[in-house]
Amino acid sequence: MAAIPTALYPVPAQAKEPETPPERVPAASEKLLAAKNVTLEYRTRERIVRATHDVSFDVYDGDRFVLLGPSGCGKSTLLKAVAGFIEPVAGSIELDGEVVRGPGADRIVVFQEFDQLPPWKTVLQNVAFPLRVARKMGRAEARERALHYLDKVGLARFADAYPHTLSGGMKQRVAIARALAMQPRVLLMDEPFAALDALTRRRMQEELLRLWDEAKLTLLFVTHSIEEALIVGNRILLLTPHPGRVRAELNSHQYTQDSTGRYEFQQSVARIHRLLFEEEIAR
């Protein structure tokens, strides 16, 4: 089981979760990403769909920041905006103090779909190719780095396999290795484990926490699963249903997979559920 990764947040395990945007826990790290009053829209021929409204959040170096909300609340859209694929109609997104104006190798996305790997490339080629193109590495160097990260996700033995011969979980590991090999400033993950069976999903969550600890990653992780948000995240931004607005921000650094059976964990699940659904209906 992964060690409890709380090093950056030396807060007692019993610390009470604040109700509204919390005072930040001791500033051990730098602000990396800032979303300021971000409104995102899609323009179709018939109408304008507002995906998020006035969403603000800050991600600090070393955070495991989770965007949590029901399907359709704009989580993927927010992630795409951070990745630089869509531009806000209002507000801004800044990385290291610079406004995000397009995609860049400092932000790599891992998606939910198993088909994000070109099927005509081997596992090794899948991981090495972006290093050659985006990082301008030579063949030998790219190969070496690719093998290093494949080893990190336990797939070094499958370097010469083709994606179609791998299970869903293994494909996701390749996608994660490919992203890690690029050494992005922030790793963006859009429900990366949602299509996996429950056991594999648990194992992958555990592995991700281990990788986060080893590689000192910063994660921006999207999920609609409250349990997953509590396990994976150290901070959680709750979004309301369509269009997504900020409902609350919570600390969740005290939970790991070992917590799931505990009363305190279940209380947090129930409280988030209330915040997301019941109070929304009441209003």
Q: What is the torsion angle, in degrees rounded to the nearest 10, for the CA atoms of residue 131, residue 133, residue 138 and residue 144? A: 20
Contact 244, 78 (CB under 8 A): yes
Interface residues for ligand ADP in 35-64 (CB under 6 A)? 42, 44, 49, 51
Q: Stretches 12-20, 71-79, 96-104, 172-180: which one binds ligand ADP (CB under 6 A)?
A: 71-79
- Interface with ligand ADP, residue 74, by CB under 6 A: yes
Residue 245 binds ligand ADP, judged by CB under 6 A: no
Site residues, Mg ion (CB under 5 A): 76
Dmax (CA) for the chain in angstroms is: 60
Nearer Cβ to ligand ADP, position 14 or 44? 44
241 belongs to the binding site for ligand ADP (CB under 6 A)? no
- 31 by Cβ neighbours in 10 Å (0-12 / 13-18 / 19+) ranks as middle
Rounded CA separation 128/54 (Å):
39
Beta bridge partners of 246: 239
Site residue total, ligand ADP (CB under 6 A): 13
Question: To the nearest whole angstrom, how small is the minimum distance from the Cβ of residue 76 to Mg ion?
Answer: 3
Q: Indicate which single residue of 35, 55, 73, 236 sits in contact with ligand ADP (rule: CB under 6 A).
A: 73
Closer to Mg ion by Cβ: residue 146 or 276: 276
Amino acid at 226: I
Which residue, 20 or 44, is less far from Mg ion as judged by CB?
Answer: 44
Closest listed residue to residue 237, CA positions, set 40, 8, 74: 74
- DSSP-derived pairing of the beta strands 31-43 and 48-60: antiparallel
State the Cα–Cα distance between residues 68 and 134, nearest whole angstrom.
31
CB nearer ligand ADP, residue 112 or residue 126: 112
195 binds ligand ADP (CB under 6 A): no
Region near ligand ADP per CB under 6 A, out of 70-78, 84-92, 169-177, 228-236: 70-78
- Please report how the helices 139-152 and 123-133 are oriented relative to each other, as an axis angle in degrees rounded to 10: 130
Output the CA torsion 200→205→211→213 (10° steps). -150
**77 interacts with, out of ligand ADP, Mg ion, none, CB within 5 to 8 A per kind:** ligand ADP
75 contacts ligand ADP (rule: CB under 6 A): yes
> Which residue, 159 or 246, is less far from Mg ion as judged by CB?
246
* Pick 80 or 152: Cβ nearer ligand ADP: 80
Token pair in block for residue 143:
């190969």
